[in-house]
């Protein structure tokens, strides 16, 4: 009896193991034929029964790889981890790379970096791992600062199956072709190369009111029981290039590009496009240049950088034959896959790649033309256009930041979906307070200040402050240089501030508080210095003089006199000549900077007008009191040489006085008159004052 029980148990165990091995073999067959869902079913049923750590690792790895290809990244991460834990020594190093990829695409950046680094210990120069590490470092920053695009699903386009690769069908952007594997396709079987249902080309139209028609398969002879999709159409809308793949149990023909012509509503005359040297390689995803003299496509060929690369064929005009294919080269192509090219109206290239720094899977990149027939370094479009899933094939409505793209991100209707994107206009404003800062310690807000907002094209908006002294200009243009000009009246200097909206990428309120100063009788120019006993200006003097240049340009109605003073050392005659020459040096500098010489006079006072100490100077120098006059006798009475030298320096000064407030004006003409009174705004501006960044 005991022997019978043992024999029964042994027989059961044998059958159990045999069934497990049968499941693995069936899984291997499905895996080799790209039937990933079927392979997963066989493998996962067999996994618990495997006694060999080596086989467990291999089977778990293959399950992970199946999930990777199906873009179920959570499951891919789980089974790659199981595989490496079971027997990492028996797996190829790539298992670590794929595990790190899954971690990265699931947002586990720190863990992914650690696994990438262990992989690089085994394969030190693998570009994919290095890109993966860089992606883990930069992607969190992108997620915290996404692009301004807004993304929404397109219910009219999408089904429960695959819907992807949108393409314009006419110049009005009212017809869209796309690829789909929905139930109404001609071929109802799996493509063994993709593991998915065969696809067809559908079209959808939008009427003038913005309503979409029902998506329908294109008429004619394009769609067959094979795999069709990824199209481009010429500007006239009567010539289509599309991808067709053949696949079956005994068929292994590479995907190729075909052409078709439109006759009425139907497409016919299907022909294979001859691309010399690419007859036996996978070719697809065609895209015209705007002038239709270039055709871009993706191909997996030995002439590439690795994986699928972008290539281009050219012709002198639309009636000529296509020339020899050329690899687009660096910096576009990498050791990864570059696919789904599209060309915008300005010649910019957009494509999908998993070989550049990105979010994970395929990301969409933009490359501007470099002016020499190639492209600049590609730029990742960042979230929300890119995600940790596959994002690919983007099209724009001409120069507008509106269009469609494909993605298999979570939350869609089917496996691959088509999404709409647009970039809302930026809300940019400039605001602030206008203050009288004649006495810096006691500033106050100015009512009735006129503020003009100008560009190179002239006056854009104007504002007049009310009692709170605030102003605001809304709806500023992007990528524009602006000038604010503020004026109060003839007793104040006008003032200007320059700012730009170039580089602004978020809704922004720029805060610029405007300081105004009344025009005193005499204004000292600080830090005007000359060579010893000479009239030559030192370089540090130009800072104050450049400020005077700006003031004079802001106030073109003012004429001034430059005034120079010396200390009492030296003869009266010498000091008078020296001060006159120094004042003349300042005038010469101003004219060199474009100030009309008729607005400028100069005068030297030598030592004849010693400085009178005001409260500001008395506060700065504790040995002086307000009202002190720095005469020769007064200075010589100071007990220390340092005090005497300070007094000499205070006497050596350069000033200017306003001699006319009506230079170049007709009698009664207002120099601050706003050019367009109809754009002026009056009243209280309910705005936040201060703060912000500029």
> What is the domain count for the chain?
4
Looking at residues 372-394, what average pLDDT do you find? 95
Contact (Cβ atoms closer than 8 angstroms) between residue 465 and residue 471: yes
Lowest mean per-residue pLDDT among 128-137, 398-407, 423-432, 538-547: 538-547
Looking at residues 19-38, what average pLDDT do you find? 85
At 366, which helix (H) or strand (E)?
A: strand 363-367
CA distance 262 to 405: 25
Examine residue 497 and state whether it is found in any structural domain, yes or no: yes
CA distance 551 to 291: 52
pLDDT value at position 188?
58
pLDDT value at position 248?
60
Place of tokens 């034929």: 33
Q: 413 and 504: one domain?
A: no
Q: 417 and 436: one domain?
A: no
Domain CATH for 106: 1.25.40.10
3-state secondary structure at position 417: strand
Contact (Cβ atoms closer than 8 angstroms) between residue 663 and residue 557: yes
Which residue, 67, 69, 140, is CA-closest to 104?
140
Q: 378 and 286: one domain?
A: yes
Task: Quick: pLDDT tens for 246-298.
Answer: 866 555 688 999 999 998 889 999 999 999 999 999 999 999 999 999 999 99
Examine residue 407 and state whether it is found in any structural domain, yes or no: yes
Domain CATH for 433: 2.60.40.1120
Contacts of 652 (CB under 8 A, 6+ apart): 565, 566, 567
pLDDT value at position 675?
45
For the chain, how far is it from start to end, CA to CA, in angstroms?
92
3-state secondary structure at position 597: helix
| Domain boundary pick from 116, 144, 172 | 144
Task: Quick: pLDDT tens for 180-197.
Answer: 999 878 765 555 545 556
Q: What angle do CA 323, 328, 333 make, to 5 degrees?
A: 150
CA distance 627 to 523: 18
Contact (Cβ atoms closer than 8 angstroms) between residue 385 and residue 422: no
% the chain with pLDDT above 70: 91
Q: 415 and 541: one domain?
A: no
Examine residue 270 and state whether it is found in any structural domain, yes or no: yes
pLDDT value at position 506?
86
CA distance 242 to 229: 6
Contacts of 146 (CB under 8 A, 6+ apart): 382, 383, 384
Q: 401 and 356: one domain?
A: yes
| Pairing between β-strand 559-564 and β-strand 600-604 as defined by DSSP bridges | parallel
Examine residue 153 and state whether it is found in any structural domain, yes or no: no
pLDDT value at position 118?
95
- pLDDT surpasses 70 at 694: no
Contacts of 184 (CB under 8 A, 6+ apart): 217
Q: 112 and 33: one domain?
A: yes
Q: 350 and 372: one domain?
A: yes
Using alpha carbons, list the distances in angstroms from residue 324 to 277, 327, 347, 594: 9, 10, 21, 59
Q: 36 and 85: one domain?
A: yes
Which residue, 351, 355, 354, 353, is CA-closest to 366?
351
Q: 226 and 364: one domain?
A: yes
Polymer length of the chain? 694
Domain CATH for 589: 3.30.1330.60
Contact (Cβ atoms closer than 8 angstroms) between residue 366 and residue 378: yes
Q: 224 and 347: one domain?
A: yes
Strand blocks (E) in 565-652: 600-604
pLDDT value at position 69?
87
For residue 112, what are the domain limits?
2-144
Strand blocks (E) in 200-346: 200-205, 216-217, 219-220, 227-233, 239-248, 251-263, 266-272, 282-288, 294-300, 309-314, 326-327, 338-343
Q: 121 and 169: one domain?
A: no
Task: Quick: pLDDT tens for 628-682.
Answer: 999 999 999 999 999 999 999 899 999 999 998 888 888 877 776 644 443 444 4
Q: 200 and 331: one domain?
A: yes
- Number of Cβ within a 10 Å radius of residue 349: 24
Instruction: Give the DSSP letter of residue 376.
Output: -
Q: Could you check whether the bond before residue 384 is cis, i.e. omega within 30 degrees of 0?
A: yes
Examine residue 105 and state whether it is found in any structural domain, yes or no: yes
Task: Quick: pLDDT tens for 38-65.
Answer: 999 999 999 998 988 999 999 999 999 9
Domain CATH for 317: 2.120.10.30
pLDDT value at position 674?
47
Looking at residues 132-139, what average pLDDT do you find? 95
At 60, which helix (H) or strand (E)?
A: helix 53-69
């Amino acid at each position: 009896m005991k022997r019978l029980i043992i024999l029964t148990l042994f027989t059961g165990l044998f059958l159990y193991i045999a069934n497990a091995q049968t499941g693995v073999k069936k899984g291997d067959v499905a895996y080799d034929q790209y039937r990933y869902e079927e392979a997963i079913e066989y493998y996962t049923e067999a996994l618990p029964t495997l006694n060999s750590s080596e086989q467990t690792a291999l089977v778990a790895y293959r399950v992970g790889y199946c999930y990777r290809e199906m873009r179920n990244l959570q499951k891919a991460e789980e089974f790659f981890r199981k595989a490496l834990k079971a027997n990492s020594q028996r797996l190829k190093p790539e298992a670590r790379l794929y595990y790190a990829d899954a971690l990265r695409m699931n947002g586990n950046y720190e863990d992914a970096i650690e696994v990438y680094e262990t992989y690089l210990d085994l394969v030190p120069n693998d570009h994919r791992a290095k890109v993966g590490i860089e992606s883990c470092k930069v992607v969190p920053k992108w997620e915290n600062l996404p692009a301004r695009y807004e993304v929404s699903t397109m219910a009219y386009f999408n089904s429960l199956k695959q819907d992807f690769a949108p393409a314009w069908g006419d110049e009005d952007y009212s017809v869209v072709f796309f690829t789909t594997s929905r139930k109404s396709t001609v071929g109802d079987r799996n493509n063994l190369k993709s593991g998915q249902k065969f696809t067809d080309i559908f079209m959808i139209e939008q009427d003038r009111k913005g309503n979409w028609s029902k998506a329908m398969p294109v008429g004619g002879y394009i769609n067959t029981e094979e795999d069709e999709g990824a199209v481009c159409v010429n500007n006239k809308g009567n010539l289509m290039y599309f991808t067709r793949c053949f696949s079956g149990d005994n068929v292994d023909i590479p995907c190729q590009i075909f052409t078709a012509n439109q006759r009425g509503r139907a497409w016919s005359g299907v022909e294979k496009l001859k691309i010399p040297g690419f007859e036996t390689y996978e070719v697809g995803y065609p895209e015209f240049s705007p002038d239709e003299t270039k055709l871009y496509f993706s191909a997996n060929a030995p002439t590439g950088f690795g994986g699928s690369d972008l290539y281009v064929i050219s012709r002198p005009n639309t009636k000529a034959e296509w020339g020899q294919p050329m690899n687009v080269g660096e910096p576009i192509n990498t050791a990864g896959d570059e696919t789904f090219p599209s060309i915008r109206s300005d010649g910019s290239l957009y494509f999908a790649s998993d070989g550049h720094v990105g979010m994970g899977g395929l990301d969409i990149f933009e490359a501007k033309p470099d002016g020499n027939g190639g492209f600049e370094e590609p730029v990742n479009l960042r979230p929300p256009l890119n995600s940790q899933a596959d994002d690919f094939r983007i099209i724009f409505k001409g120069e507008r930041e509106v269009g469609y793209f494909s993605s298999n991100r979570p939350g869609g209707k089917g496996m691959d979906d088509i999404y709409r994107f647009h970039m809302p206009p930026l809300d940019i404003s400039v605001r602030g307070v206008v203050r009288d800062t004649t006495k810096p310690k006691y500033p106050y807000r100015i009512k009735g200040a006129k503020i003009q907002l100008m560009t190179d094209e002239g006056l854009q908006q104007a504002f007049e402050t009310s009692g709170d002294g605030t102003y605001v200009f809304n709806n500023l243009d992007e990528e524009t240089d602006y000038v604010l000009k503020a004026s109060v009246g003839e007793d104040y200097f006008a003032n200007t501030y320059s700012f730009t909206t170039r580089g602004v990428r978020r809704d922004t309120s720029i805060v610029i508080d405007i300081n105004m100063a009344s025009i005193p009788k005499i204004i000292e120019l600080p830090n005007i210095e000359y060579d010893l006993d000479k009239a030559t200006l030192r370089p540090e003097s130009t800072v104050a003089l450049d400020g005077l240049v700006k003031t004079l340009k802001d106030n073109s109605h003012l004429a001034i006199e430059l005034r120079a003073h010396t200390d009492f050392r030296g003869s009266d005659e010498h000091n008078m000549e020296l001060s006159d020459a120094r004042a003349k040096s300042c005038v010469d500098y101003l004219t060199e900077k474009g100030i009309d010489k008729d607005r400028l006079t100069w005068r030297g006072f030598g030592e004849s007008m010693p400085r009178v100490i005001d409260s500001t100077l008395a506060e700065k120098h504790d040995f002086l009191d307000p009202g002190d006059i720095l005469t020769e006798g007064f200075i010589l009475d100071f007990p220390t040489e340092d005090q005497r030298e300070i007094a000499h320096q205070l006497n050596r000064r350069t000033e200017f006085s306003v001699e006319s407030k009506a230079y170049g004006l007709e009698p009664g003409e207002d120099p601050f008159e706003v050019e367009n009174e109809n754009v002026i705004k009056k009243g209280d501006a309910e705005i936040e004052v201060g703060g912000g960044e500029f």
